[in-house]
Structure 1
Amino acid sequence: MSGGAAAAAGGGGDKPGKVRCSRRLWLLLGSLALVFLTSLFLSVSLRGGVSFGYLEPPGWEESRRVKLVPSYVGAHRLSPPETPQQKTCACNSCVGDPGVSDWFDENYDPDISPVWTRDNIQLPPDVYYWWVMLQPQFKPHNIQQVLLRLFQVIPGRSPYGSWDPGRCLRCAVVGNSGNLRGTGYGAAIDGHDYIMRINLAPTVGYEDDAGRRTTHHFMYPESAKNLAANVSFVLVPFKTLDLVWITSALSTGQIRFTYAPVKQFLRVDKDKVQIFNPAFFKYIHDRWTRHHGRYPSTGMLVLFFALHVCDEVNVFGFGADSRGNWHHYWEQNRYSGEFRKTGVHDADFEAQIIKQLAKAGKITVFTGK
Structure 2
Amino acid sequence: MKVLMYYRGSYMTAVTCVIIICMLLVFQTPIDEFSEGRCACKDCVREQTHSAWFNELYDLSIQPLLTRENYVLSGDIYKYWKGLQKNKKESNYTVVVEKMFSLFPDKTQYLDASPKRCRTCAVVGNSGNLKGSRYGHLIDLHDFVIRINMGPTKSYEKDVGSKTTHRFIYPESAVDVENSTYLVLSPFKILDMEWLISAFTTKNITRTYKKVRPSINANRHKVMILHPAFIKYVHEIWLLKRGKYPSTGFLAIIFALHICDQVNVFGFGATSDGNWHHYFDETLTPFENDSHAGDFENKTIIRLQQENKILLYRGWT
Say whether 1:367 aligns with 2:317. no
Aligned equivalent of 2:156: 206
1:355 to 290, 302, 311: 302
Q: SS at 2:264's partner residue?
A: strand
Aligned equivalent of 1:344: 291
1:1-369 equivalences in 2 (<5 Å): 88-161=38-111, 163-331=113-281, 333=282, 336-369=283-316
Rounded Cα–Cα distance in structure 1 between residues aligned with 2:249 and 2:177: 19
Q: SS at 2:46's partner residue?
A: coil
Residue pair 1:289, 1:296 contacting (<8 A) in 2 also: yes
Q: SS at 2:45's partner residue?
A: coil
Deviation at 1:99, TM superposition (A): 2.4
Residue pair 1:216, 1:233 contacting (<8 A) in 2 also: yes
Rounded Cα–Cα distance in structure 1 between residues aligned with 2:257 and 2:165: 16
TM-score (norm 2): 0.86
Q: SS at 1:293's partner residue?
A: coil
Deviation at 1:134, TM superposition (A): 1.4
Q: What letter corresponds to residue 262 of structure 2 in structure 1?
A: E
Rounded Cα–Cα distance in structure 2 between residues aligned with 1:368 and 1:320: 10
Rounded Cα–Cα distance in structure 2 between residues aligned with 1:109 and 1:299: 19
Q: Any runs of at least 4 consecutive aligned residues in structure 1 with deviations exceeding 3 A, and if so which? A: 84-87
Deviation at 1:94, TM superposition (A): 0.4
Q: SS at 2:287's partner residue?
A: helix
Rounded Cα–Cα distance in structure 1 between residues aligned with 2:48 and 2:138: 27
Q: Point out the more displaced range, 183-192 or 237-246.
A: 237-246
Deviation at 1:310, TM superposition (A): 0.6
Deviations 1:164-221, CA, capped at 9 Å, x for gaps: 2210000000000000000100000000000000111011010000001100001101
Deviation at 1:162, TM superposition (A): 6.2
Rounded Cα–Cα distance in structure 2 between residues aligned with 1:179 and 1:226: 24
Deviations 1:21-43, CA, capped at 9 Å, x for gaps: xxxxxxxxxxxxxxxxxxxxxxx
Q: SS at 1:151's partner residue?
A: helix
Deviations 1:253-289, CA, capped at 9 Å, x for gaps: 2222212222222221001001011100010112111
**Identity, % of aligned positions:** 45
Q: SS at 1:299's partner residue?
A: helix
Aligned equivalent of 2:27: none
Residue pair 1:180, 1:329 contacting (<8 A) in 2 also: yes
Residue pair 2:275, 2:284 contacting (<8 A) in 1 also: yes
Residue pair 2:85, 2:190 contacting (<8 A) in 1 also: no
Rounded Cα–Cα distance in structure 1 between residues aligned with 2:73 and 2:189: 13
Q: What letter corresponds to residue 308 of structure 1 in structure 2?
A: H
| Structure 2 portions without partners, runs of 5+ | 1-32
Deviation at 1:341, TM superposition (A): 4.1
Aligned equivalent of 1:81: none
**Count, aligned residues:** 284
TM-score (norm 1): 0.74
Residue pair 1:93, 1:362 contacting (<8 A) in 2 also: no
Q: SS at 1:126's partner residue?
A: helix
Rounded Cα–Cα distance in structure 2 between residues aligned with 1:296 and 1:117: 21
Residue pair 2:86, 2:209 contacting (<8 A) in 1 also: no
Deviation at 1:116, TM superposition (A): 0.7
Deviation at 1:98, TM superposition (A): 4.9
Rounded Cα–Cα distance in structure 2 between residues aligned with 1:98 and 1:212: 31
Residue pair 1:93, 1:361 contacting (<8 A) in 2 also: no
Rounded Cα–Cα distance in structure 2 between residues aligned with 1:312 and 1:194: 10
Rounded Cα–Cα distance in structure 1 between residues aligned with 2:279 and 2:106: 34
Rounded Cα–Cα distance in structure 2 between residues aligned with 1:284 and 1:308: 12
Deviation at 1:337, TM superposition (A): 2.1
Residue pair 1:98, 1:105 contacting (<8 A) in 2 also: no
| Structure 1 portions without partners, runs of 5+ | 1-83
Calculate the aligned-residue CA RMSD, in Å.
Answer: 1.8
